[in-house]
Amino acid sequence: MEKRSILHMLDPMPNNSPFDVNMAMDAGFDVLMPYSNVKLDSVYGLTQDAIFSRGPAGVKRTAIFIGGRDLGLAVDMLNASKQAMVPPFEVSVFADPSGAFTTAAALVASVEKQLREKHGKELQDCTALVFGGTGPVGIATGIISSLAGAKTALVDHLSIATAEDVAKAYNRRFACHLTSACAGSETEKAQLIADADIIFCTAKAGIQVLSAAVLKTAVKLKVAGDVNAVPPLGIEGIKRSDSGAPLIHAVNTQGAVGVGALAVGNVKYRLQNEMLKLMLETDKPLYLDFREAFNKAREIA
């Protein structure tokens, strides 16, 4: 009799994400085992408890999911789990803290598609801004965009120092080339977006980041993507379902288009589902983070 599939869900936060639990169940795992308040130094032992209890055949039906909110910690936990493996006792591990890796991968891939189709450009040809750039999704978006070749800045609405600290920390960790900016006022936003080819909006739900008046200064803008699905949307004029629709408030000659939250969300949902399924279907252990997520998101988009 084939063993049931088990997903061990390690989370450093007080609660595991219901979103991730639902996604894992829908991906086909038979048993979900959530762990909260998990410390980094506990991951090695938890991993070995998981791999040695099922035999070589059972580990193929076993996987580990890492959540939380801290991107760096999630990658550290993934690496600690990987180091605990003892072949042939190896299981797949997928890190997606706050869904940030899959959401960011879906956002960048969706924008990249429109950039190619509408403008014949690649990410490495462009300058990109990430508003809400110091939150989990914003940081992940910036990392992916930068590693894909775009000149990318993380924008904080309160503090340039915060943006600088975050950019430096993740540049060291992932060898990307993020820069930083602060834009708290309409004037500062207008000045900042004047030279942007791409805008990623990853700010908190229900907050309008870029108004119609500000967008009129985006004379070089080609594509804007917004992950906010709660009114008011992050970028005025982008509808939730937009996938390459003209950005009506961007008065320029570039033919700027928008990508809305539902369009990004559709790619994100399919992406997370497929990443989880990969761990069920593989014969060899997989170690998945934002890099693999972006590769898969490109295929889906």
Instruction: Write the pLDDT tens digit of every residue in 28-55.
Output: 999 999 999 999 999 999 999 999 988 8
Residues of the chain with CATH 3.40.50.10280: 6-99+267-300
Q: What is the mean pLDDT of the chain?
A: 95
Whole-angstrom CA distances from 291 to 105, 157, 247 are 8, 27, 29
**What pLDDT, in 10s, does the model give residues 205-263?**
999 999 999 999 999 999 999 999 999 999 999 999 999 999 988 766 579 999 999 99
Topology of domain 6-99+267-300, per CATH? Rossmann fold (3.40.50)
Residues of the chain with CATH 3.40.50.720: 104-264
pLDDT the model gives residue 3: 86
Q: Does domain 104-264 have CATH number 3.40.50.300?
A: no
Residue 181 and residue 156: Cα distance in Å, rounded? 6
Residue 107 and residue 247: Cα distance in Å, rounded? 17
Q: In this model, does residue 100 exceed pLDDT 90?
A: yes
Residue 58 and residue 52: Cα distance in Å, rounded? 9
Record the tokens describing residue 288, joined without a space: 């998945």
Residue 123, SS3? helix
Percent of the chain whose pLDDT exceeds 90: 92
> Is the whole-model pTM more than 0.85?
yes
